Chains A and B, each alone.
Chain A
Amino acid sequence: MDRMKDRLDALWAEYREALPDPEPGPNFLPQLWQKIEARRVETTSVFRRLAQICVMATIALALVMSVVMVPRNNTDEVFYSGTYVDALAAEHSNDYVDVLAAADLR
């Protein structure tokens, strides 16, 4: 077992020697910068896409809101179509009758 261990240790050392640090090729740096640029563009386009999605969602939400709100506004318009005086008159029509009746009594 120890003999095998020693042989293995020697093998690691030989392996280290047999595989020296390789010289980088002349295109190493230019290719690296190309990859960095590509990743930057990719990240930017992801943000752009997100922004587009946000704009689309906002427009869709605005449309939905307008569809929901418009009929309610129309109803409200009908409800408040009369003047304030008309509304009061409609509310207190009996009072008017009572006043008339009191005048008749005099």
Chain B
Amino acid sequence: MLVDFELIERARSGDDGAFNQVVQAYRKRILGTIARLIGRPEDVEDVGQEVFLRLYFSLDQLRTSEVFEPWLYRLTVNAAYDYLRRQRRRQESRMSDLSEQQVMMADAAAGGKRNVEEKRRTDIRETVDALLGKISEEDRILLTLKEVEGLSLKELEKIYRVNENALKVRLFRARQRVLKAYEASEPQEGR
């Protein structure tokens, strides 16, 4: 826990100052998770604000302060789902945006404007984003939480509200699907 239970209790009882402190304590971590879940750095703050907005108006539904973190992660996952669904609807226009972006990035790379390390990071991000784009939003979010965020099965159980066995099955299937997508993408990317 990044804050003590007493602060969460105060925020629950309507203390805006306490809520502000909770946001300040968690915002960086939540923004990082969102960045890795949605893969669009320019929209991370918007989605992050949506998460804390939902938190503000749903804090009174929180049973106890002990379950605050899984609750916050759950709100984060739901906001990421909603964002990804909206994105899918706007897929056509996004595709043209992306290609423009890629053209700009290629130009910048050709001009030697980026250093080698930055280029390596960008390549990894693009590879993983492309890979995650080939699986469903559910698989994408579950795998990111487990493999990238490093959440334990216990933590995931609280977030998804399912038992461990069901979660293991879901994870296994999601891993199989992403592995299949990875294998399929390998020859095209010349790996």
Closest to B122 in A: A18
User: In the complex, what distance in Å separates the CA atom of A21 from the CA atom of B150?
Assistant: 14
User: In the complex, what distance in Å separates the CA atom of A97 from the CA atom of B183?
Assistant: 116
Instruction: Supply 10 A–B pairs (Cβ within 8 Å), ascending by A.
Output: A4-B179, A8-B182, A15-B128, A15-B148, A18-B124, A21-B29, A25-B45, A28-B45, A28-B49, A32-B52
Which segment of B3-11, B31-39, B90-98, B156-164 sits at the interface? B31-39
**Chain A hits for B179, CB < 8 A:** 1, 4-5, 8
Contact B49 A35 (CB under 8 A): yes
A1 to chain B, nearest CB (A): 8
Is B151 close to A, CB under 8 A? Answer: no
A22 to chain B, nearest CB (A): 5
> Which residues in chain B, 163-191, are within 8 Å of chain A measured between CB atoms?
178-179, 182-183, 186
Is A31 close to B, CB under 8 A? Answer: yes
Contact of B32 among A4, A19, A36 (CB under 8 A): A19
**Chain B hits for A7, CB < 8 A:** 182
**Chain A hits for B41, CB < 8 A:** 22
Contact B183 A31 (CB under 8 A): no
- Interface residues of A: mostly helix, strand, loop or mixed? helix
B141 to chain A, nearest CB (A): 14
Contact of A14 among B32, B53, B124 (CB under 8 A): B124
In this complex, the member of A16, A28, A32, A35 whose beta carbon has the largest number of chain B beta carbons within 10 angstroms is: A32
Interface size class of B (residues with CB under 8 A): 35 or more
Indicate whether A22 sits within 8 Å of B31 (C-beta atoms), given known contacts A4-B183, A35-B53: yes
Closest to B143 in A: A12
Residues of B within 8 A of A (CB): 20, 23-24, 27-29, 31-32, 35-36, 41, 44-45, 48-49, 52-53, 56-57, 120-122, 124-125, 127-128, 131, 147-150, 178-179, 182-183, 186
Contact A31 B49 (CB under 8 A): yes
Contact B125 A15 (CB under 8 A): yes
B176 to chain A, nearest CB (A): 10
Contact A24 B36 (CB under 8 A): no
Contact B31 A24 (CB under 8 A): yes
Contact A21 B28 (CB under 8 A): yes
A60 to chain B, nearest CB (A): 33
Contact B23 A29 (CB under 8 A): yes
**Chain B hits for A12, CB < 8 A:** 128, 147-148
Closest to A25 in B: B45
User: In the complex, what distance in Å separates the CA atom of A16 from the CA atom of B179?
Assistant: 18
Closest to A40 in B: B57
Closest to B36 in A: A19
A25 to chain B, nearest CB (A): 6
User: In the complex, what distance in Å separates the CA atom of A23 from the CA atom of B20?
Assistant: 17
